[in-house]
Amino acid sequence: MTVRPNGEIDLPASMSVVRRRHQKSYLRQAFEIVRLVLGPWKLSPWDYYRYRLYDDERYNWAQRHQFIGDNSCGWIRHSVSDASSRDILDDKLNAAGELRRHGLPAPELRAFFHPSRNARGIVTLRSAAELADHLRSRMEYPFFFKPACSLKGRGAGLAVSYDAASDSISMIDGEQVAVAEFARRIEEFCLFEPSRTSFEPRAGYLFQEVVQQHPAIVEICGPAVCSLRIYAGVDDRGASLFEIVWKIAAPGNATDNFGPPGNIVAAIDHDTGEVLRASRGLGTDREELEVNPNTGRRVVGFQLPFFEELRRLVLKGAVLFPKLRFQGWDVAIGPDGPVIIEVNNSSGFRLGQVASGNGLCTPEFTEFLSRAKRLNSARPFRLPIAWKSPYAIWRIYGVWKLLASFFRRPPSSQ
């Protein structure tokens, strides 16, 4: 395996595999990495292996330079979106209120937990004891729970049922959690004041209904909710769609995010709604799929139901946030049409680029960035998220890791 349990690419192991499979020496790999580090979108060593840019049969240098590195995501969002407006979607409670206010279809919020924060029109619980009592007697099962501020599904889960005999909740992964213990964990998580950054998720917990999916999607994916990530842009020409990815959850996983093991990503034709390709895993471990191995049903070539309705819904919703010029919409398709799971203003490019196998920075997207930057030229300054992270120095760190890998013996089992 060349991907560690935390989802990070193992550089030495990846170098060894590429050397053996592609007859590409360590020195040549290092040269290509440096060329990408110095390229237009400042890719890192991890990006080189994550997107399999070592594959000369698949990519020429013009195609490699269309890939956007992880650290460039923060720069792009800072350049095209008004920083003061991003707070609207940083908080999922506020974002859900905006969707409801504009009459857009979204899951019903069943409860909200926080020791002091108020949530208008929603059952609000203040203590672990109140939450435990609600879970035992008044909560409708199943339900989905997630922090009001978080990224990549951190802290999210799906409660399937309550067993009064054992006073415990059954989770989708089979875990049994005592109600008192579950409530205690939620309360401890929310002891701090609400934060304005999604990297410090202390703004409370949301409990919402589990979206019912279209029967055709259940047949392909199974019962887990599998949403679509739609990359949308807004500028003076209106809203447009750039990439659509279908996130297919593996059995037992509470979320369809790309991180959990076994989850599949599929690239969708954003004009027709047809599945173009599907894969799971990263880098040298990536596996191309024609069928979903969990259900035995063919994924590639599948036509998404209600696709035109989905396009219209996202294009309609995107213009509601005109100063958030690059957005990521998570939308599920129910029996009666699309349902918005959430809207992200910090949608990274990794998911879309892995799913499609192509860099997102096409001529169309480059033109959009130019227009959006001009519109955002008078933005108030705010330090980009990327600057606040240790990975802000990824160029130095990445080069150090790359050099260090030469002095580590590659695993012979790779």
pLDDT at residue 192, as a whole number: 58
Q: Where are the beta strands (DSSP E) in 180-282?
A: 205-209, 228-235, 238-248, 264-268, 275-280
Reported confidence tier of residue 414, pLDDT bands at 50, 70, 90: very low
What pLDDT, in 10s, does the model give residues 368-384? 999 998 888 766 555 44
DSSP E strand stretches across 345-384: none
- Tell me what pLDDT residue 364 has: 92
Burial class from Cβ neighbours inside 10 Å (0-12, 13-18, 19+) for residue 381 reads exposed
pLDDT tens per residue across span 236-291: 999 999 999 999 988 877 778 777 788 999 999 989 999 999 999 888 999 999 99
* pLDDT greater at residue 353 or residue 149: 353
Peptide bond into 390 cis (omega under 30): no
| Average confidence (pLDDT) over 337-345 | 90
- Over the chain, what is the mean pLDDT? 85
Average pLDDT over residues 55-60: 95
Amino acid 282: pLDDT = 87
What pLDDT score was predicted for residue 152? 65
Residue 229 has pLDDT above 90, yes or no: yes
Topology adopted by domain 213-363: D-amino Acid Aminotransferase; Chain A, domain 1 (3.30.470)
| Strand intervals (E) in 86-237 | 109-113, 124-125, 143-147, 157-163, 168-171, 176-178, 205-209, 228-235
User: How much is the average pLDDT of 360-373?
Assistant: 91
Tokens at 42, concatenated: 């400042």
Between 43 and 390, residue with greater pLDDT: 43
Residue ranges per structural domain of the chain = 1-67+385-414, 108-209, 213-363
Q: What is the DSSP letter of 175?
A: -
